[in-house]
Amino acid sequence: MIPAVDNPEHKTIDSITMTKPDNDFQSGFPLVRGRRNRLHPGRRMMVAEHRLSLSDFIAPLFVTEGKEVKEPIASMPDYFRLSPDLAVRQAAMLHELGIPAVLLFVKVPEAKKDNEGTEALNENGLIQTVVKRMKEAVPGLVLMTDVALDPYSSYGHDGIVRDGEIVNDETVDVLARMAVSHARAGADYVAPSDMMDGRIGEIRRALEANGLYNTGILAYSAKYASGFYGPFRDALDSKPGFGDKKSYQMDPANVAEAVKEAQMDEAEGADMVMVKPGLPYLDVVRAVKKQVQVPVAVYNVSGEYAMIKAAAEKGLLDEDQAVMESLLAFKRAGADVIATYWAEKAARLLEQTK
Ligand code: PBG
């Protein structure tokens, strides 16, 4: 390489003309300057197009058997599995903070798992018990319950397994019964996360047939077969025992299909539809929002939580800033509600900046 000074082609800064030709890009500058609205916090606050608020959040809770149990989850630092007594206390605290809803998941002991999800229908099962106690202790909190077989399945699949296949209609029948038992215990919304076909309609019919017309359905309509669920499966000990979930969860390549699933669920009686995971699927949130009339929720899943935690622990980024920025991205994409493990943190940060 010829050094710049010896290069006859090289021109020094003096040779660059700094006088501007007449506004030849039609940019409006300098009459138009974007930075005027960014100059000061008050100006920025006034022109912010989207805002996070406490009312946006659903806080997932992992419940395990026992008393006074608070178990760390290796892949989800600072998140815990709680026994019913502590889960109720946590729910009361979240309600006090102003978070409107919790989404309940249970960790079922191995001995209570089978292929048909028998334990899921136990009237005095863990989820039914927690829902009853929580409703009694914190009546103002919206209780949402996970409806799927994987925590109860000896195969770790969301449906019943026959000859290596996850069978649809037989599973839907169990899911509908499960939904009724959650609703009877006091759930405000049942949240089917299984991706079986036709389950929203069957659940709706079962709820109506049992007089549970006030129980809502939060449908996981576009749930993708994602690599971001790993930490959650750790939390509930619900890894699939064989194969993967691609025969029921969606292909990450698809977006028109997500819209179709959401529209079908809306037609079958879903009161809210959900897109999951969140951050890698913001385009899907936007597409679904445009095509349905019911509120759209997004699930900021366990792997998304773990990524920020891991990076922050290494000092690679600022956790609080990364969290609030990603939550705001969901609002920008069009989400009405955000299920997130950051709910408590975000609520506290929002309170501080009030
Ligand atoms: C299973 C279920 C999963 C999640 C919610 N419900 C995992 C899966 O489908 O394997 C994932 C939530 C998360 O990763 O935060 N019915």
Q: What is the CATH number of the domain that holds 322?
A: 3.20.20.70
Residue 7 belongs to a domain: no
pLDDT band, very low/low/confident/very high, at 83 (cuts 50, 70, 90): very high
Q: Looking at residue 14, what is its pLDDT?
A: 67
Q: Looking at residue 353, what is its pLDDT?
A: 84
Tell me, in angstroms, the distance from the centre of ligand 1 to residue 308's CA: 18
Instruction: State the chain's mean pLDDT as an integer.
Output: 94
Residue with the bigger pLDDT between 297 and 20: it is: 297
In sequence order, which residues have a C-beta less than 8 Å from that of residue 236 and are 6 or more positions away? 62, 105, 106, 107, 108, 150, 151
Residue 175 belongs to a domain: yes
Residue 88 belongs to a domain: yes
Q: Identify which of 240, 249, 236 has the alpha carbon closest to the alpha carbon of residue 192.
A: 249
Residue 276 is a catalytic residue: yes
Tell me, in angstroms, the distance from the centre of ligand 1 to residue 27's CA: 48
Average of pLDDT values for 317-335? 98
Q: d(Cα 334, Cα 288) in Å, to the nearest integer?
A: 9
Q: Tell me the β-bridge partners of 215.
A: none
Residue 19 belongs to a domain: no
Answer yes or no: is pLDDT of 4 > 70.
Answer: no
Query: Where does ligand 1 bind, in terms of residues with CB under 6 Å?
Result: 146, 148, 150, 158, 193-194, 229, 232-233, 245, 301-302
Sign of CA dihedral 25, 30, 35, 36: negative
Domain that holds residue 56: 50-352
Number of domains in the chain: 1
Average of pLDDT values for 68-89? 98
- Specify the range with the lowest mean pLDDT, choosing from 19-33, 160-174, 256-270, 308-322: 19-33
Which residue owns the Cα nearest ligand 1 atom 11? 229
pLDDT band, very low/low/confident/very high, at 354 (cuts 50, 70, 90): confident
Residue 132 belongs to a domain: yes
pLDDT band, very low/low/confident/very high, at 25 (cuts 50, 70, 90): low
Answer yes or no: is pLDDT of 24 > 80.
Answer: no
> Please, what's the b/e burial string for 254-267 (b: 16 or more CB within 10 A of its CB; e: otherwise)?
ebeebbebbbbbbe
pLDDT band, very low/low/confident/very high, at 13 (cuts 50, 70, 90): low
pLDDT tens per residue across span 174-226: 999 999 999 999 999 999 999 999 999 999 999 999 999 999 999 999 999 99
Residue 143 belongs to a domain: yes
Among 113, 245, 276, 309, the active-site one is 276
Q: d(Cα 282, Cα 298) in Å, to the nearest integer?
A: 9
**228 Cα nearest atom in ligand 1:** 14
How far is residue 243 CA from its own chain's centroid? Answer: 24
Residue 3 belongs to a domain: no
If one residue of 102, 232, 302 were mutated to test the ligand 1 pocket, choosing by the most ligand atoms within 8 A of its CB, it would be 232
pLDDT band, very low/low/confident/very high, at 26 (cuts 50, 70, 90): confident
Tell me, in angstroms, the distance from the centre of ligand 1 to residue 222's CA: 12
Count other Cβ atoms within 10 Å, centred on residue 298: 32
Average of pLDDT values for 26-48? 93
Q: Looking at residue 136, what is its pLDDT?
A: 98
- Specify the range with the lowest mean pLDDT, choosing from 16-30, 191-205, 220-234: 16-30
Residue 223 is a catalytic residue: yes
Residue 213 belongs to a domain: yes
Answer yes or no: is pLDDT of 326 > 60.
Answer: yes
Beta strand 142-147 pairing with 296-300: unpaired
If one residue of 104, 146, 160, 193 were mutated to test the ligand 1 pocket, choosing by the most ligand atoms within 8 A of its CB, it would be 193
Q: d(Cα 79, Cα 71) in Å, to the nearest integer?
A: 9
Tell me, in angstroms, the distance from the centre of ligand 1 to residue 299's CA: 10
- Specify the range with the lowest mean pLDDT, choosing from 17-21, 250-254, 296-300: 17-21
Q: d(Cα 115, Cα 283) in Å, to the nearest integer?
A: 36
Answer yes or no: is pLDDT of 6 > 80.
Answer: no
Question: By the 8 A CB rule, do 315 and 26 touch?
Answer: no
* H-state helical runs in the chain: 41-47, 84-97, 126-137, 168-185, 199-209, 230-236, 256-267, 282-291, 302-313, 319-333, 343-352
Q: d(Cα 181, Cα 66) in Å, to the nearest integer?
A: 21
Percent of the chain with pLDDT over 70: 94
